[in-house]
Structure 1
Amino acid sequence: MIWMKQSRQENMIYLVVWGMLFAVPLLSSYVRMFGDNHAEFRWHEVLFVWHHFSIYLLLFVVHNFLLAPLLIHARKRVLYFVTVAAVVALFAVYQHNTRPMMKFHERPHHEWREPLRDDHWKRERNHEFRRPPLVNERNIMSLTVVILMFGANLGVKGYMRGRDDRRRLAELERQNLEHQLAYLRYQISPHFFMNTLNNIHALIDIDPEKAQETIVELSRMMRYVLYDADKERVALNKELDFVETYIKLMRLRYTDKVRISLTLPADVPDRQLPPLMLISFVENAFKHGVSYQHDSFIEVSMTVADNKLTFRCRNSKAETPSQEKGGVGLANVRQRLNLLYGDRYSLRINEGANDYSVELNIPLS
């Protein structure tokens, strides 16, 4: 049901506010007793105030659980405003009918008037009593309080509804982000292992002993992908070991014509970063930067300073770039970086006449 859609925090706000209102006459009586030793605690005055507060509380309950949900949850604006107008009109009639009667010529009690002369008392006893007019200062003030109370109730409900909507939206965005990142990670892993298995296939006929060594190294990398790549963050030293192992495998494949260098920090701090974030750059360097006719080079370096990782990769350009299909490339990396870091990272890619360089700066957690 619509009226049940109310959070515990919202209920606590209402309980605290109404509790404070009902405590006011009690506190007022105790303060008066402390200020005047002859003053007495008058329960009938407290009950009189509570009686009037109870009427407003009843109107609040009706509005909070029956009327406000029509506007906040059901979006039935016409029905809401018509019903509220009817409730306010009924309250005005109730206020008018429950007011004490006054002599038709009598002024309100708060206005001063001259005492009646003795010859007027006889006529006073014969005067007609009747209630004050419907539109008067007291009724206008009461109706204003009711309208303000309804408005405050709508304000609290609107705030709570907006807060809950923002929380649900943030949760949906978080889940969507996780699904996108998982999909992107799973794109990387098959592509990487496809290339590595091709390397092993090439080594089996050339050097079986090196092929066996490659399989051992590949099993280490598979363990990393299976058990660590699904995590949101991994230790920096594990990611660097993964890149180092990959480059070690690639060294087994190429001759001395391909100059491969890797520079890692001597002291790796205890920091974390998203898994498989750097390997795509290294893969691309080997795929597009190695020439079998001329000398080639691949230079990879990583430094850590001020909780930021700087990754640099520079490679020569092959005369005929690899036409190998299935790679996920830079589009994958950019998408992951945007999802994870927003504007807190920098990626610079420079393509020269004979070389290609990448510099990535990301914060470490």
Structure 2
Amino acid sequence: MNLSVTKEQFTFYSRVGAAFLLLWLFGDLVSHPDTFYPRVWNNIWRWAYVLVLNFILFEYTLPFIRFTWKRILLGLFLLWVHLMLYSFGLYAWRLIGIALHIYTPLVTFADTDKAVESQMSYSAGSIFFFGAIRLLYGYTKLRQTAQQLRIEKQAAELNYLKSQTNPHFLFNTLNNIYSLARIKSDLAPESILRLSKILRYMLYETSGAYVAIEQELKIISDYIALEQLRYDESLRVNFNYDVEEMRQALPPLLLMPLVENAFKHGVSETRSQPFVDIHLSVNQRKLAFIVKNSTEAFPEERSINENIGLSNLRRQLELLYTDYNLSVQPGESVFTATLKINLASHV
């Protein structure tokens, strides 16, 4: 058995031991103020002994017993050894202190049994004190570890969702440019230029946890302009916003799936009078994002597209916020997606 002491263990037992010593000294000060100073040295002498014993008991003996059932007998023997050390051992430690003129015998015992019983009461108090705090400390540490694992798991899942969003976003954009290049449109160079801006944003801005709403609005505007290159003047796009503070934080590309969904599953499927209406408002940390688009699909068909296109966004919202609502209203001619978020409810 390697009786090494880690920095965490040293810190814990030093602090708990100091608290136990101070608590006992306070009791002596109240009960025996006339002999308080010699009792200080007596308590320090006993305290050093039980501190080492408690460390061995809680860090090695008890975990050893729980390790395997085959060690129960040996574990019971070790507990008996501890009992002897806490009683007769502490009494012997008292005699050593007296011989070294460190411990002052303030009480005379009628026999050895009475002396051992007196020392055992001190040991029992230390076991209860150390054990209770050790149990509370272990429980708190376990909860912190579980919380940290949950946070790391959610962060990994969120990064995975982002890694899905970015390629999906890029794939749709490249499809737009491909359609222009295929007909040798003069708008292809402009679309490539806008794509480069979008790629720059994705490479340098979306790696962080937040961006300013102002940046998110800019990338949405660039994407809308890129989409408009594919259509003639029959497409009507209305994008307006009312934001009280442009520097408010927002996860990057969080709103983009709703905009993409409007063009990919709405405008592209509309043969006459296609339109997209987008409105964003952020006031008093309350965000409302409403996207309406034309559609000719039946409601039951729209629900399939919705599940595919918006499931990623729904999961991101679950991981990021506690107060939000994402609702969709499919219809025969208009599809409406409404996202409301309390930005102050970020996890």
The answer to whether 1:86 aligns with 2:66 is: no
Do the aligned partners of 2:277 and 2:292 also contact (CA within 8 Å) in 1? yes
Task: State the secondary structure of the residue aligned to 1:277.
Answer: coil
Task: Work out whether residues 25 and 49 of structure 1, in 8 Å CA contact, stay in contact via their aligned partners in 2.
Answer: no
Match of 1:252 in 2: 229
Q: 1:148 to 1:80 in 2, by over 3 A?
A: farther
1:301 aligns with 2:279: yes
Identify if the C-alpha distance between structure 1 residues 210 and 63 changes in structure 2 by more than 3 Å, giving closer, same or farther. Answer: same
Per the alignment, do residues 280 and 72 of structure 1 end up closer, same or farther by CA in structure 2, a change over 3 Å counting? Answer: farther
How far, CA to CA, are the matches of 1:15 and 1:133 in structure 2?
28
The correspondence of residues 52-131 of structure 1 with structure 2, limited to 5 A, is: 54-64=45-55, 66-70=56-60, 73-74=63-64, 76=66, 78=72, 82-93=77-88
Whether the aligned pair in 2 keeps the contact of 1:229 and 1:276 (CA below 8 Å) is yes
Partner of 1:4: 5
Equivalent position amino acid for 2:133 in 1: V
CA spacing shift, 1:140–1:51, aligned 2, 3 Å: same
48-57 vs 295-304, greater mean Cα deviation? 48-57
TM-score of the pair, normalised by structure 1: 0.74
Q: Which residue is 2:309 aligned to?
A: 329
Distance 1:160 1:2 in 2: 21
Q: Match of 2:242, SS?
A: coil
Q: Does 1:358 align with 2:318?
A: no
Tell me the percent identity: 25
8 Å CA contact 2:21–2:44 kept in 1: the answer is no
Cα offset for 1:59? 2.5
1:240 CA displacement: 1.0
Q: Secondary structure at the match of 1:254?
A: coil
TM-score by length of 2: 0.77
Superposed CA deviations along residues 136-157 of structure 1, whole A, max 9, x for unmatched, are 5x65454333223112212222
Q: Give the deviation of 1:56 after TM superposition.
A: 4.7
Higher helix share: 2
Instruction: Measure, in 2, the Cα distance between the counterparts of 1:75 and 1:331.
Output: 50
Tell me the alpha carbon deviations over residues 51-92 of structure 1, each in whole angstroms, 9 at most, x when there is no partner: 46523531331221x111136655638455643343324544
In the alignment of these two chains, the number of paired residues is 319
AA matched with 2:204: Y
Deviation at 1:25, TM superposition (A): 10
Does the aligned pair in 2 maintain the 1:56–1:146 contact within 8 Å?
A: no
Extract unaligned runs of 5+ from structure 2.
Answer: 96-106
Is the contact between residue 298 and residue 313 of structure 1 (CA under 8 Å) also seen in structure 2? yes
Paired with 2:171 and 2:43, the residues of 1 have a C-alpha distance of: 80
Amino acid across the alignment from 1:220? K
| CA displacement, residues 233-279 of structure 1 (integer Å, 9 cap, x when unaligned) | 11111011111111111111122333221112265432011111111
Task: Say if 1:235 and 1:270, in contact at 8 Å, map to a contact too.
Answer: yes
Give the secondary-structure state (helix, strand or coil) at the position aligned to 2:232: coil
Map 1:129-278 onto structure 2 (within 5 A).
132=111, 134=113, 139-140=116-117, 142-206=119-183, 208-265=185-242, 268-278=245-255
Unmatched segments (≥5 aa) in structure 1: 33-41, 100-109, 111-129
Q: Is the 8 A contact 1:345 1:361 kept in 2?
A: yes
User: In the alignment, which residue of structure 1 is the partner of 2:19?
Assistant: 17
Please state how far the C-alpha of 1:19 moved relative to its aligned partner: 5.2
* Paired amino acid for 1:334: R
Residue 325 of structure 2: aligned partner: 346
